[in-house]
Copies of this chain bind each other. A is one copy, B any other.
Amino acid sequence: MTARTAPVRTAPDEVRTVTCVGAGVIGGGWAAYFLARGYRVRAWDPAPDFGTRLRHLVDAAWPALTELGLADGADRANLTVCATLAEAVEGTDFVQESAPEDLELKRRLLADIDAATADHVVISSSTSGYPMTDMQTDCAVPGRTVVGHPFNPPYLVPLVEVVGGERTDDDAVTWASDFLRAAGKSVITMDREVPGFIANRLQEALWREALHMVDAGEATVEQIDRSITDGPGLRWPFQGPMLTFHLAGGQGGMAHMLDHFGPSLLSPWTRLDAPELTPGLRDAVVHGCEDEADGRTVDDLVAERDRQVVALLRATGRA
């Protein structure tokens, strides 16, 4: 009987030791975050002087993390700078890879991590866009490799998008999601690979439209930034774009908004063509908003919005 038995992973809430591979801004940010949450962190990077740089990154993040509140036992002394990859994955419960965005490099590095790490350990990649299917090709145990895409700075921004590749086991995706949630992250688990995942796609559409506007002389860089910071950006930290439009529909919510303003999807308001607003799409969006509102009326949401915008204006020094 040579069939591999199911891996016995550490329970997500019993993880004590994590490994950070790569000590750039993202890898260093992850290390700082895990240290602040009370984990032991073993780190490795191929650059010979990385230990100094990594400690500098952790030190720079520490005041903000301290202000947010450290977990019991959190200590920068729990960081171990390792001389080799093998040393870094010794006794680890989880590996987060944050190498430069280069497919060949990530493919080789993941294969090296995979070869060095006990089979039951989940390996997560910070890639901002490559599908795991394309990165896990040279791994002997690809079933435990997932994407765990953070946002900069990873020690402050809660979002992590988790998704597997074609050869990833479902239970590894579930485990990574559970562990990162236990570590305090806001996890979005995707059921399929989409280039750019979710947040980067949305961000990229906005960014490309902004580049078109600069290119056409329609707006300056400063105008673009201020149009967001002093406009819709003041709503998005607490009500996303969907719920924002739910409120724009007045008492009728998203249903009124789509039924009334649906035709504006045909307006030349961006270079991006809109999808056809089929009844199915309309209903998916309307029901999604109702689910998200979760019993809160439009009036409730408006009151929340006002309270939060006032708080944000204050927090950002504008009131």
Binding site for B on A (CB under 8 A): 25, 60-61, 63-64, 67-69, 101, 129, 151-153, 156-159, 161, 186, 188, 190, 192, 194-215, 217-243, 245, 247-248, 250, 261, 264-265, 267-275, 277-278, 281, 284-285, 287-289, 291-292, 302, 305-316, 318-319
Contact = CB atoms under 8 A, between A and B. Distances in A.
Contacts of A198: 213, 218-219, 223-224, 227
A53 B186 CA distance: 40
Contacts of A311: 315-316
Provide the main secondary structure of the chain A interface.
helix
Given A202-B227, A311-B315, A222 B288 contact: yes
Contacts of A316: 237-238, 308, 311-312
Contacts of A278: 215
Given A153-B306, A198-B224, A228-B236, 15 more contacts: A25-B250, A153-B309, A157-B234, A188-B227, A190-B219, A195-B268, A197-B227, A198-B213, A206-B206, A207-B241, A210-B242, A233-B236, A236-B237, A271-B272, A312-B316
Nearest to A128: B264
Contacts of A210: 202, 241-242
A217 to B, nearest CB: 8
B194 A218 contact: yes
A103 to B, nearest CB: 11
A290 to B, nearest CB: 9
A307 B64 contact: yes
B200 A225 contact: no
B211 A228 contact: no
A247 B196 contact: no
A280 to B, nearest CB: 8
Closest 4 CB pairs of A and B: A221-B288, A225-B240, A196-B269, A233-B236
Contact of A156 (B129, B238, B310): B310
B240 A233 contact: yes
Contacts of A218: 190, 192, 194, 198
Contact of A221 (B239, B242, B247, B272): B242
